[in-house]
C-alpha cells in the first residue's frame, strides 16, 4: 500500500480570504482535511483500463481543483486490491477505521466493488465506483452510500447487442467471465437479444482470469452461432480475441461481439484483429474538442490515451470536490445529496445526472473500430456511429430493484 500526499499551494484568491472565513470552513471538515482512497487493480487483468493511470487522473483533478477544499488539504491513499473482494474490503475497512478516509474512488472488479460498498455503508462513508460494470451495483446491491459513475452492463447490452441483432446477428453463443460482472452482462445481453427476436444458443463460463481460451473458442465454433459474445473484460477479452483469430473463428463465418472493449484493448490487439468491431462506450478521447484537450494533458503525463474509466475517475473526483466545496462539509450524506443536485456536463459526461438509485446516467455512444486504412494515427481507433441518450441508455427506474427507488 502506498500513501501519496498532495497538498498544493492555494490560489491567490484563497490566500486573500480572511482567516476567520478559512477557519469557519475548516470547522466543517472532518480532521481539517479531505482524504480520498484510490482502490483498483494496479498490477493484474484490469491494470491498463484503470490502474496507475486512474490514480494519475485523480491526481490531475485534485491539482486542477487547487489542492485544497474549504481551506482543508486533500490527501490521497492508494492500494492494489489484486481483484480480491476480501483484500478490497479489508483495505477499505482499515482506511476508514485508521485513516479516516472520506471517499473511496476507483473500484474496478465488480466483486470488489460490491464488497467495498457494503463496508462503506456499514461505516456511513461514501464510495464512487468508476471502473466496475455490473448493473447490479445500483440495482439489487444499491446503497445510500455509493454512486456508480462511468457505465454498466445495461447500456453495453442495449447498445452493442441490439445493434448486432438488428444487423442480422440473431443467434448468439455467450463466453462469460464467471463472476458478478460477467453474470450481469450475460443476463442483460440475453434479455436484449431475445427481446429483439434473437436467440442464445449456448453459454459457457470461464474462470477469472483465464490465459488459455482454446477449449472455450472450440465450443463457440461448434455451436454454429452467428455471434460469439464476449462477456468479459481486460486481458480476458484480449486473450479470447487472440485465440479466436488463431483458430480462424471469424474466417469461418462467425463474428465476435466484444461487449466490454476498452481503448487499451484495441490498441494492444491492433486494428488488423479488431477492425469493424462494434462496441458501446461512455466516452472517447477524440470525440470532441473538450475531450481532446483533456486527453492531451493526460497523454503528456502518462504516454497513453485515457480509457473511459480513467476519464471518468477525473470527472467523478472533480464532481465530488465541487460538492464538498458547495456544501461546506465532507459529511458523506450531505455531499452525496449535493452531488445528486448538480447536473454533470464536462469533457466526460453529457446530460449527466445522479439518480436516486446512485446511478450516474449520461449519454453513451455506439462506436465501430476503424480499419487500418481508415486510421490516421496510433490512437485513431474509433468512429462514433451514434449517441444513445442518457434516459434511454440505462435501466429505467420503473424496472429497478433498488430499495432507494420510490416506485
Res. 25: pLDDT tops 90: no
Percent above pLDDT 90 for the chain: 83
Asked if 251 and 376 sit in the same domain, the reply is: yes
The residue range of the domain holding 182 is: 154-281+363-391
CA–CA gap between residue 272 and residue 276 (Å, rounded): 10
Residue where a domain stops, chosen among 339, 358, 377: 358
Residues 245 and 386 in one domain: yes
Would 33 be classed as within a structural domain? Answer: yes
Cell numbers linked to 262: 476498452
- For position 407, what pLDDT does the model report? 63
- Domain contains 405: no
**373 shares a domain with 236:** yes
Tell me: do 201 and 100 sit in the same domain.
no
- What's the pLDDT at 61? 98
From 250-254, 352-356, 362-366, the region with the lowest mean pLDDT: 250-254
Does 8 reside within a domain?
Answer: yes
Given a contact cutoff of 8 angstroms between Cβ atoms, the answer to whether 119 and 51 are in contact is no
Residue 22 inside a domain? The answer is yes
Residue 264 domain-assigned?
A: yes
398 in any annotated domain: no
pLDDT tens-digit readout, 193-232: 999 999 999 999 999 989 999 999 999 999 999 999 999 9
- Same domain flag for 222 and 256: yes
Q: Which set of grid coordinates corresponds to residue 56?
A: 494519475
Q: Are residues 48 and 68 in the same domain?
A: yes
Residue 2 has pLDDT above 60, yes or no: no
pLDDT > 60? residue 47: yes
Please check whether residue 403 lies inside any domain of the structure: no
Number of domains in the chain: 2
According to the model, what pLDDT value does residue 243 have? 94
Looking at residue 4, what is its pLDDT?
39
Taking the C-alpha atoms of residue 28 and residue 24, their distance in angstroms, rounded to an integer, is 7
pLDDT at 330: 95
Is residue 36 over pLDDT 80? yes
Q: Which residues pair with 74 in a beta bridge?
A: 6, 34
Q: Let me know: does 79 contact 37? Beta carbons within 8 Å.
A: yes
Both 200 and 265 in one domain: the answer is: yes
117 has pLDDT over 70:
yes
pLDDT at 26 over 70: no
The CATH number for 318's domain is 3.40.50.2300
Are 374 and 336 members of one domain? no
| Residue of 155, 158, 156, 193 lying closest to 174 (CA atoms) | 193
Q: Report if residue 397 sits inside a domain.
A: no
Residues 38 and 92 occupy one common structural domain? yes
* pLDDT (tens digit per residue) in 284-306: 999 999 999 999 999 999 999 99
Residues 172 and 266 grouped into a single domain:
yes
Residues 333 and 351 in one domain: yes
Amino acid at each position: 500500500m502506498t500513501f501519496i500526499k498532495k497538498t498544493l499551494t492555494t490560489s491567490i484568491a484563497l490566500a486573500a480570504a480572511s482567516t476567520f472565513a478559512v477557519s469557519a470552513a475548516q470547522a466543517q471538515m472532518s480532521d481539517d482535511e479531505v482524504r480520498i482512497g484510490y482502490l483498483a487493480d494496479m498490477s493484474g487483468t484490469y491494470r491498463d483500463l484503470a490502474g496507475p493511470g486512474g490514480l494519475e487522473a485523480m491526481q490531475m483533478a485534485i491539482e486542477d481543483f487547487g489542492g485544497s477544499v474549504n481551506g482543508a488539504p486533500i490527501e490521497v491513499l492508494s492500494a492494489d486490491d489484486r481483484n480480491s473482494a476480501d483484500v478490497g474490503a479489508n483495505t477499505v475497512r482499515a482506511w476508514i477505521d485508521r485513516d479516516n478516509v472520506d471517499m473511496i474512488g476507483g473500484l474496478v472488479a465488480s466483486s470488489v466493488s460490491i464488497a467495498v460498498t457494503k463496508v462503506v455503508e456499514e461505516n456511513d462513508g461514501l464510495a464512487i465506483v468508476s471502473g466496475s460494470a455490473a448493473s447490479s451495483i445500483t440495482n439489487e446491491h444499491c446503497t445510500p452510500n455509493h454512486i456508480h459513475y462511468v457505465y454498466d452492463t445495461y447500456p453495453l447490452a442495449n447498445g452493442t447487442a441490439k445493434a448486432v441483432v438488428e444487423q442480422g446477428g440473431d443467434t448468439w453463443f455467450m463466453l462469460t467471465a464467471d463472476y458478478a460482472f460477467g453474470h450481469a452482462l450475460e443476463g442483460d445481453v440475453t434479455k436484449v437479444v431475445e427481446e429483439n427476436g434473437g436467440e442464445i444458443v449456448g453459454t459457457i463460463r470461464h474462470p477469472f482470469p483465464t490465459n488459455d481460451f482454446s477449449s472455450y473458442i472450440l465450443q463457440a465454433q461448434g455451436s454454429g452461432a452467428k455471434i460469439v459474445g464476449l462477456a468479459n473484460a481486460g486481458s480476458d477479452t484480449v486473450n479470447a480475441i487472440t485465440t479466436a483469430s488463431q483458430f480462424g473463428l471469424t474466417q469461418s463465418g462467425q463474428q465476435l461481439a466484444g461487449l466490454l472493449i476498452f481503448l487499451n484493448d484495441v490498441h494492444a490487439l491492433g486494428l488488423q484483429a479488431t477492425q469493424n468491431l462494434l462496441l458501446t462506450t461512455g466516452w472517447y478521447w477524440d470525440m470532441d474538442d473538450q475531450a481532446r484537450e483533456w486527453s492531451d494533458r493526460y497523454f503528456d503525463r502518462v504516454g497513453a490515451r485515457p480509457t473511459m474509466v480513467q476519464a471518468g475517475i477525473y470527472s467523478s473526483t472533480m464532481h465530488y470536490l465541487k460538492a464538498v466545496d458547495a456544501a461546506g462539509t465532507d459529511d458523506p450524506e450531505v455531499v452525496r445529496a449535493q452531488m445528486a443536485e448538480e447536473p454533470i456536463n464536462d469533457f466526460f459526461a453529457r446530460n449527466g445526472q445522479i439518480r436516486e438509485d446512485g446511478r450516474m446516467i449520461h449519454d453513451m455512444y455506439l462506436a465501430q473500430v476503424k480499419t487500418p486504412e481508415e486510421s490516421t494515427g496510433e490512437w485513431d481507433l474509433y468512429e462514433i456511429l451514434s449517441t444513445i441518450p442518457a434516459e434511454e441508455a440505462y435501466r429505467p427506474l420503473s424496472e429497478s430493484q433498488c430499495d432507494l427507488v420510490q416506485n
